[in-house]
A and B are shown apart, each in its own frame.
Chain A
């Protein structure tokens, strides 16, 4: 079955550094990957979408890559700030269904 995996361990980084989160998928080839941010007690908020024919997508301090050979997407936050602390979820979409990874909790230390 389709599976999308993220590192379930929390990631702690120092303010100002680049945070890199990983999303791996198996048993299928999604045409799109999406990244969301979720704060405690809130619904996820859409951040970025990348298509399979796009190697890289940027939005302000955010960058997403999509490697169809490795079946992996990387999500980078440059010049990280304590306000970036949250859980980040990747998701794939197809045939109306959106399948989410378990999310990686990021904590940016001041």
Chain B
């Protein structure tokens, strides 16, 4: 069966520090991968998605970046965190189909607090 791992679960970082969040998927190949952010009491904001190794699409210009060094690994990074980067970060995967009806499977998220 497929599983998605996301870590760490919680993170407290000072303003200006770097960030690296990692997500890995097991049990499937060539998944579409996604990073979302959820601010407190708000909806899910799509940050990045990837349909293949090295292919990254950015939805929101900001000081975050994403990389996909391996088929089932997706990394979210920042060189210098801002207070506004605080939030709940969720990684998700979907089957690589062209019919757009695959459900998204989410990890359990990383709660990031920038102080």
State whether these chains interact: yes
Tell me the A residues contacting B by CB distance below 8 Å: 31-32, 34, 36, 41-46, 49, 51, 89, 91, 93-103
13 sample A-B contacts, Cβ–Cβ < 8 Å, listed by A number: A32-B101, A41-B108, A42-B108, A42-B109, A43-B106, A91-B104, A93-B100, A95-B100, A97-B46, A97-B59, A98-B34, A100-B36, A100-B44
Please tell me which one of the listed residues B51, B59, B94, B107 contacts residue A43 in the complex, with CB atoms under 8 A apart.
Answer: B107
Tell me the B residues contacting A by CB distance below 8 Å: 32, 34, 36, 42-44, 46, 49, 51, 57, 59, 90, 92, 94, 100-109, 111
Please tell me which one of the listed residues A43, A45, A96, A102 contacts residue B43 in the complex, with CB atoms under 8 A apart.
Answer: A102
Closest partner residue, chain A, to B57 (CB atom): A96
Main secondary structure of the interface of A (DSSP, over half): strand
- Asked if B32 and A46 make an inter-chain contact with CB atoms under 8 angstroms apart, the answer reads no
Question: A51–B44 Cα gap in the complex (Å)?
Answer: 22
**B-chain residues with CB within 8 Å of residue A93 when the two chains form the complex:** 100-102
Question: A42–B42 Cα gap in the complex (Å)?
Answer: 14
Give the Cβ gap from A28 to chain B, nearest Cβ, in Å.
13
Interface core residue of B32, B106, B107 (most chain A CB under 10 Å): B106
Closest partner residue, chain B, to A49 (CB atom): B101
**B-chain residues with CB within 8 Å of residue A98 when the two chains form the complex:** 34, 46, 92, 94, 104
Please tell me which one of the listed residues B94, B100, B105 contacts residue A32 in the complex, with CB atoms under 8 A apart.
Answer: B100
- Asked if B43 and A89 make an inter-chain contact with CB atoms under 8 angstroms apart, the answer reads yes
- Asked if B43 and A101 make an inter-chain contact with CB atoms under 8 angstroms apart, the answer reads yes
- Asked if B108 and A97 make an inter-chain contact with CB atoms under 8 angstroms apart, the answer reads no
**B-chain residues with CB within 8 Å of residue A96 when the two chains form the complex:** 32, 49, 51, 57, 100
Given A97-B49, A98-B46, also A43-B100 (CB < 8 A)? no
Interface core residue of A31, A34, A91, A97 (most chain B CB under 10 Å): A97
**B-chain residues with CB within 8 Å of residue A101 when the two chains form the complex:** 43
Pairs of residues from A and B, 7 with the lowest C-beta to C-beta distance, nearest first: A43-B106, A102-B43, A46-B103, A100-B44, A93-B100, A32-B101, A94-B100
Question: A89–B43 Cα gap in the complex (Å)?
Answer: 8
Question: A51–B100 Cα gap in the complex (Å)?
Answer: 11
**A-chain residues with CB within 8 Å of residue B108 when the two chains form the complex:** 41-43
